[in-house]
Amino acid sequence: MHVDLAEYGHARVRHDLRSWQRQHRLLTLVTDAAAAALGLLVGLSVRSLVVGHDAALWGSTDAMEVTSVAIAALWLLLLGQRGAYATRFMGAGTEEYRAVARAAVTLVAVVTFVSFTVKLEFSRGVLFVAVPTMLSATIIGRHLLRRRLAVARDHGLCLQPAVLVGDARAVLELARRIGAAPRTTGLQVRGVCVGDPTSAALAPEELDGLPVLGAEADTLAVVDRVGAEVVAVASCPSLAGQALRRLGWALEQRNVDLLIDPGVIEVAGPRLTLRRASGLPMLHVERPVCSGVRYAAKLAVDRLAGLLILVLAAPLLLLVAALVKLDSPGPVLYGQRRVGEGGRLFTMLKFRTMCADADARREALEGSHDGNERLFKLRHDPRVTRLGAVLRRYSVDELPQLLNVVRGEMSLVGPRPPLPREVDQYESDAVRRLRVRPGMTGLWQVSGRSDLPWVESLRLDLWYVDNWSLALDAQILVRTAGAVVRGRGAY
């Protein structure tokens, strides 16, 4: 059997190129160890304060400290076993956090099992305090490391050099998507290899400076020449089956990762699973959740949470109502007809932030709006009152929409509720926004609001409709606080 020693030399070179990955993994390991120490220290400290009150729960063994060290080591081992240190999860997606959560559940199960089987006297109270603290500290630490990595990637650092292979049009679209999101992809496209180098799709204006380095047959030579760490294969009929398998073998010898673009866009990871049929892996795409038990749970949580927030925020709402009344003549609340779930019309409520005759004055301002091609917005709208500018800046004017949430017309999280005249201009894809209940906040609101072009706003809303989950709603609600403070796109 012939072994190409040169290929293993290439592997050693790429091993040096990935020093940033080793550094990030080492920092993550140190952060996780510190989180484990913090969690156990908090657990032991709480135990020392209350052990006299409930010895049955908190235990009394003198070997508690030794056992805690073993648990800390077990925590790091479980994180590794669950894939929390995998290179493919560095700085992208939620799988890293899922792995951490799975490790925490496994840790509790293992410690509980060992305690019962070998009669290990370990404090249940320490475990119940330490594990949540450990989990929270680990997630926070990893989030901070992700932000550090994101800043580096914004400056062109900590990116894996990649070569794209496949059909010309599919490769260019993949390159565009990678270039638009270096933070999450972690890739830097060094060049492309295409099936037909003479394709009309490779016009200079389409390439936008992206080098075409060869045909599909030249892929391995190009990988060696540019020092690629990743090869991404886009739609390519000639590079499939056994040919793709051989390419994977050759890249394995070079220590180069192989990615395959299935051509399915805007689909979140949890909706994708592999199904095998006669050894052939097939990608199964789950249907979007827009009904059923989980969606009913969302709507129930919306109403209950909306009612709770409304009660807690009642003093603020009364104060703002009084200020609006004192600031300018006119009603306190402004009602506007909007299109909700399934195309049903409803009246959306807001605190009035403009003069009473704002609607009548709009026509004179139509030609100078600053919003995207579908939304009428002015950065310095002369109709906005002094108080109204402050309310808009921090989204306080949106709080009366809690009444819409309680009435079941809106959700806490969802696409922006459109005006009827906007819906009249919808293309067929945009109508899909109306499949779910509109929200007080959503991906549009936390990603730039009125500063976003219509195409990007639509893309975010459709992504939300297709990939909705309770976890996604929770993430958006957390991000909303930061978006409100920054006030980006709020005018």
Q: State which amino acid sits at residue 89.
A: F
**pLDDT at residue 435 is higher than 80:** yes
Quick one: which of 369, 381, 387 has its CA closest to 326?
387
pLDDT digits (tens, 9 = 90+) for 268-296: 556 666 666 666 666 666 667 677 788 88
Cα 12 from Cα 77, distance rounded (Å): 27
Region for 149 from its dihedrals, namely left if φ exceeds 0, alpha if ψ lies in -120 to 50, beta otherwise: alpha
Whole-number Cα distances in Å, 342 to 34, 414, 417: 50, 13, 12
- For the segment 167-196, the average pLDDT, to the nearest whole number, is 85
Question: Domains of the chain, with CATH numbers?
Answer: 9-154 (no CATH), 160-263 (3.40.50.1980), 292-486 (no CATH)
Phi and psi torsions of 337, nearest 5°: -70, 125
- For the segment 176-197, the average pLDDT, to the nearest whole number, is 85
- The angle formed by the CA atoms of residues 10, 173 and 161, to the nearest 5 degrees, is 20
Cα 461 from Cα 434, distance rounded (Å): 10
Q: Which two tokens stand for residue 223?
A: 């990988």
Cα 454 from Cα 346, distance rounded (Å): 23
Q: What pLDDT, on the 0 to 100 scale, is given for residue 269?
A: 58
Residue with tokens 């799709």: 201
Spatial contact of 164 and 192, defined as CB atoms under 8 Å apart: yes
Q: Which two tokens stand for residue 337?
A: 């007809």
pLDDT digits (tens, 9 = 90+) for 386-403: 898 889 888 899 999 999
Confidence of residue 141 (pLDDT cuts 50, 70, 90): very high
Positive or negative torsion for Cα 61, 63, 68, 71: negative
Q: Which two tokens stand for residue 330?
A: 């006119």
pLDDT digits (tens, 9 = 90+) for 7-61: 434 444 444 446 888 889 999 999 999 999 998 888 877 766 765 544 444 444 4
